[in-house]
């Protein structure tokens, strides 16, 4: 099938009815030979912006990508669509790479994926010149930036493309939001003159939720069983040891879960990643080592059982949920100890004052996000410099919007905490301060004579959890600070005096857990919930099983056969003929040929 217009390619090859903003303009620029910078969030459909022009323009489109796993998944997906795509990388067997070379030199490829080192290897660009390149797409372009978080020195060499291939359009694509990185991309890749396309970084289908950490494993199990049974997700933990513990716990509880961290061999890690992508397991429990190179579109939840390092990391890591646009959960569980620990880790890298100031700022922003009484999405986006228009304050899809936060006047309680901190010498952590407030005679309390203080036992009316919540919020507001240069003790911060003197009042949010609301009725899986009748849901599960079987037989991830969205539509619509089947979202010409019969057969049998 040879489409002649972008529109036709979209419909016939991809099976999608319409472009998303601003795919069509980007494609139009590239078709006219212009360079572009595309900064759009994960899941917004950046790939189409180079895939379609590469198919339409004479010659081969070259895609530079940093990871082999990413390239392979893209190629497999494109081949399912009948697009002539291949990848050249060090992971190929000798004859595999010979085949790709033959196809390339025979001008039989629409798209070729290579690593930056591969592209710049001796003689490779000469070969490409002979073949005829129709565009260069530089994926994950933020890797060129030293400011960003994934700097790859090899990316710097890509600047030569401008001189070596004048007139061949280049696209730099990234999901990284901050302006310094964007400037660096333009500069380092010699993209002066490129047209920039920026869209909002909002991920509306992700529901953000933050909980105080009590018993993390129980909290995780409850979340998974109530809302995400059988669905794919990632659980992030801080350390290798915690990763192992949580993975083992999940396995013991009957979940198909595997650990992933830098202490495992690359073979074990590769296998875990593969099992996740091909739906052999449901859950990956990982340190931050996991994520880059995960294109899996149907990740339904990302749970931070320990807090992330910063809001940047948080956005990145939660961004791996819901690439397909269907509802997804981002849940974080955190306690003050975690924040103190993060602070101490920052301290242990001996860093300059400037660096340390930035790190404090990042930590405080994270804390502010956790303790906010405002819409979480709004706080997150404004951190990236994106302020939503007035009037659209409430996203309606985060915990504070869905269950408006109750607040209470805690001026007296704040005074109690501040006075306990002050009288114990501004050197103890929250555990000890709470012991003093509650009047608990631990050996530490008695050895410091803290049972003699006037604040000893003044806080007996509240429980430990509530005191923890109060202290977290005081830290988030900067009224208390954590001494991360010492041993993590609490100190009085700015405005503490005003509160002690009673000059300002302070309201606290009531923790959802402390309030212990009765659970909502247990909901079924998020995905199937899009379907109305139980019959449709059952059919969806049947189609899902069929998809898994077909994918296994071909050794490809299930989502490249059909996306969840496609299966949902199929289950609701129940097509009976090929013509009806073709109208389903995500069914293009190649998939019609390959899968119509078997899916129509199963649907017909189910209908009977």
Binding site for ligand ADP (CB under 6 A): 16, 19-20, 23, 40, 42-48, 297, 323-324, 563
395 binds, among ligand ADP, Zn ion, none (CB under 5 to 8 A by kind): Zn ion
54: phi then psi, degrees, rounded to nearest 5 = -65, -35
Shorter beta-carbon distance to Zn ion: residue 394 or 411: 394
Neighbours of 608 (CB within 10 A): 4
Q: What DSSP assignment string belongs to 304-339?
A: ESS--SSHHHHHHHHTTS-TTSS-EEEEEEE-HHHH
For the CB of residue 207, give the shortest distance to Zn ion in the complex, in Å: 9
- Residue 285 CA to residue 398 CA, distance in Å, equals 24
401 binds, among Zn ion, ligand ADP, none (CB under 5 to 8 A by kind): Zn ion
170: phi then psi, degrees, rounded to nearest 5 = -120, 140
Give the one residue of 177, 398, 476, 560 binding Zn ion; rule: CB under 5 A. 398
For the CB of residue 140, give the shortest distance to ligand ADP in the complex, in Å: 10
For the CB of residue 16, give the shortest distance to ligand ADP in the complex, in Å: 4
43 binds, among Zn ion, ligand ADP, none (CB under 5 to 8 A by kind): ligand ADP
Q: How many CA atoms within 13 Å lie on the side-chain side of 521? A: 2
For the CB of residue 127, give the shortest distance to ligand ADP in the complex, in Å: 27
At 25 the three-state DSSP class reads: helix
Structure tokens given for 54: 């590469």
Identify whether the C-beta of residue 409 lies closer than 8 Å to the C-beta of residue 505: yes
Give the one residue of 395, 414, 528, 556 binding Zn ion; rule: CB under 5 A. 395
Identify whether the C-beta of residue 227 lies closer than 8 Å to the C-beta of residue 523: yes
- C-alpha distances in Å from residue 530, one per residue of 525, 526, 583: 9, 7, 19
375 contributes a contact to Zn ion by CB under 5 A: yes
Q: What DSSP assignment string belongs to 340-356?
A: HHHHHHHHHS---HHHH
For the CB of residue 21, give the shortest distance to ligand ADP in the complex, in Å: 9
For the CB of residue 77, give the shortest distance to ligand ADP in the complex, in Å: 8
List the beta bridge partners of residue 206.
Answer: 328
278 binds, among ligand ADP, Zn ion, none (CB under 5 to 8 A by kind): none
48 binds, among Zn ion, ligand ADP, none (CB under 5 to 8 A by kind): ligand ADP
603 binds, among Zn ion, ligand ADP, none (CB under 5 to 8 A by kind): none
The window from 131-139, 158-166, 376-384, 437-445 that contacts Zn ion (CB under 5 A) reads: 376-384
Cis, bond preceding 22 (omega within 30 deg of 0):
yes
- C-alpha distances in Å from residue 428, one per residue of 17, 203, 245, 346, 436: 61, 40, 29, 20, 11
203 contributes a contact to Zn ion by CB under 5 A: no
Shorter beta-carbon distance to ligand ADP: residue 23 or 537: 23
Give the one residue of 36, 87, 401, 417 binding Zn ion; rule: CB under 5 A. 401
For the CB of residue 319, give the shortest distance to ligand ADP in the complex, in Å: 9
530 binds, among ligand ADP, Zn ion, none (CB under 5 to 8 A by kind): none
Residues in the chain: 608
45 binds, among Zn ion, ligand ADP, none (CB under 5 to 8 A by kind): ligand ADP
For the CB of residue 564, give the shortest distance to ligand ADP in the complex, in Å: 10
Q: Which residues bind Zn ion (CB under 5 A)?
A: 375, 377, 395, 398, 401
């Amino acid at each position: 099938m040879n489409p002649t217009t972008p529109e036709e390619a979209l419909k016939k090859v991809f099976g999608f009815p319409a472009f998303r903003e601003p795919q069509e303009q980007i494609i139009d620029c590239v078709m006219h030979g212009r360079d572009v910078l595309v900064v759009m969030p994960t899941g917004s459909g950046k790939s189409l912006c180079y895939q379609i022009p590469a198919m339409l323009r004479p010659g081969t489109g070259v895609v530079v990508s940093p990871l082999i796993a990413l390239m392979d998944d893209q190629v497999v997906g494109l081949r399912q669509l009948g697009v002539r795509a291949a990848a050249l990388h060090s992971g190929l067997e000798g004859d595999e790479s010979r085949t790709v070379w033959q196809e390339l030199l025979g001008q039989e490829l629409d798209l070729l994926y290579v690593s930056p080192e591969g592209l710049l290897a001796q003689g490779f660009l000469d070969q490409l010149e002979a073949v005829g390149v129709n565009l260069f797409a530089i994926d994950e372009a933020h890797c060129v930036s030293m400011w960003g978080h994934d700097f790859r020195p090899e990316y710097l060499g890509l600047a030569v493309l401008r001189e070596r291939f004048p007139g061949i359009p280049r696209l730099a694509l990234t999901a990284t939001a901050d302006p310094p990185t964007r400037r660096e991309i333009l500069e380092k890749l010699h993209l002066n003159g490129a047209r920039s396309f920026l869209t909002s970084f909002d991920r509306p289908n992700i529901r953000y939720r933050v909980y105080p950490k009590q018993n993390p494993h129980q909290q995780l199990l409850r979340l998974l069983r109530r809302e995400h049974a059988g669905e794919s997700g990632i659980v992030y933990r801080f350390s290798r040891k915690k990763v192992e513990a949580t993975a083992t716990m999940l396995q013991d509880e009957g979940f198909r879960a595997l650990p992933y961290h830098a202490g495992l061999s690359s073979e074990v890690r590769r296998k875990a990643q593969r099992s996740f992508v091909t739906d052999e397991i449901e859950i990956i429990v990982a340190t931050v080592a996991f994520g880059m190179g995960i294109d899996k579109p149907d990740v339904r939840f990302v749970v931070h059982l320990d807090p992330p390092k910063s809001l940047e990391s948080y956005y990145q890591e939660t961004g791996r949920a819901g690439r397909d646009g269907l509802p997804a959960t981002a849940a974080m569980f955190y306690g003050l100890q975690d924040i103190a620990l993060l602070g101490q880790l920052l301290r242990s890298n001996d860093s300059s004052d400037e660096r340390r100031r930035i790190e404090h700022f990042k930590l405080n922003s994270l804390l502010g996000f956790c303790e906010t009484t405002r819409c979480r999405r709004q706080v997150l986006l404004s951190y990236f410099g994106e302020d939503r228009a007035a009037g659209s304050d409430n996203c309606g899809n985060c915990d504070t919007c869905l269950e408006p936060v109750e607040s209470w006047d805690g001026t007296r309680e704040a005074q109690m905490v501040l006075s306990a901190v002050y009288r114990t010498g501004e050197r103890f952590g929250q555990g000890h301060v709470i012991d003093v407030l509650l009047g608990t005679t631990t050996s530490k309390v008695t050895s410091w004579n803290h049972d003699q203080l006037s604040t000893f036992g003044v806080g007996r009316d509240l429980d430990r959890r509530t005191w923890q919540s109060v202290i977290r919020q005081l830290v988030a507001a900067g009224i208390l600070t954590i001494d991360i240069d010492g041993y993590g003790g609490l100190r009085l911060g700015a405005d503490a005096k005003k509160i002690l003197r009673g000059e300002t009042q302070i309201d606290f949010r009531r923790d959802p857990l402390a309030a212990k609301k009765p659970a909502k009725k247990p909901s079924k899986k998020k995905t199937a919930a899009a379907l109305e009748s139980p019959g449709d849901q059952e059919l969806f599960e049947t189609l899902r099983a069929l998809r898994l079987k077909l994918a296994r037989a071909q050794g490809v991830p299930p989502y490249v056969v059909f996306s969840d969205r496609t299966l949902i539509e199929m289950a609701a619509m129940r097509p009976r003929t090929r013509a009806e089947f073709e109208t389903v979202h995500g069914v293009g010409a190649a998939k019609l040929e390959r899968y119509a019969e078997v899916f129509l057969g199963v649907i017909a049998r189910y209908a009977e």
